[in-house]
């Protein structure tokens, strides 16, 4: 049995999820929210997961400061960006365009396909992970 996008995003029963600028109905996009999970207007105290949707670096730069200021330290952070394709213009890739997020101390740790249009990167604050990646010269999420 395949997992829903909500399960892949690590949304658990009872979680509070802040979906920022989703393309349409977020619950439908992720295949339904688990029992007791609810959507919040934005990140803040008690938010378990933050999922931000941005189309390009300019949108990330405009959205990120408010998210960074409000995201609880223990919250899971996903940032979705458009997959490149016909009629889709973006300057974000898995490896490029994430300077503000990296400067805030976050590093990418996993990636999933949300649907045919969106890819999501999960980010985590982990100084040991960052040090290990830098020691081996990894380029993931770096500009």
To the nearest whole number, what is the mean pLDDT of the chain?
92
This prediction's pTM = 0.89
Q: In b/e form, how buried is each residue of 38-67, taking b as 16+ CB within 10 angstroms?
A: eebeebeeebbbbbbbbbebebbeebbeeb
CA 126 distance to own-chain centroid: 16
Task: Say whether domain 5-136 belongs to CATH 3.65.10.10.
Answer: no
Higher pLDDT, 133 or 95: 95
List the chain domain ranges: 5-136
Q: What's phi and psi for 10, nearest 5 deg?
A: 70, 30
The pLDDT tens digits of the residues spanning 23-58 come to 999 999 999 999 999 999 899 999 999 999 999 999
């Amino acid at each position: 049995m395949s997992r829903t996008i909500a399960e892949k995003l690590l949304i658990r029963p009872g979680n509070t999820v802040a979906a920022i600028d989703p393309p349409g109905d977020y619950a439908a996009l992720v295949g339904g929210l688990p029992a007791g999970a609810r959507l919040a207007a934005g990140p803040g105290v008690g938010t378990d997961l933050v999922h931000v949707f941005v189309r390009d670096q300019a949108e990330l730069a405009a959205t990120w400061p408010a998210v960074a200021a409000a995201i609880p330290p223990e919250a899971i952070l996903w940032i979705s960006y458009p997959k490149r394709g016909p009629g889709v213009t973006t300057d974000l890739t898995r490896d490029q365009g994430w300077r503000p997020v990296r400067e805030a101390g976050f590093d990418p740790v996993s990636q999933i396909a949300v649907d045919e249009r969106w890819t999501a990167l999960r980010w985590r604050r982990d100084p040991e992970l960052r040090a290990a990646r830098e020691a081996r010269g990894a380029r993931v999420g770096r500009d």
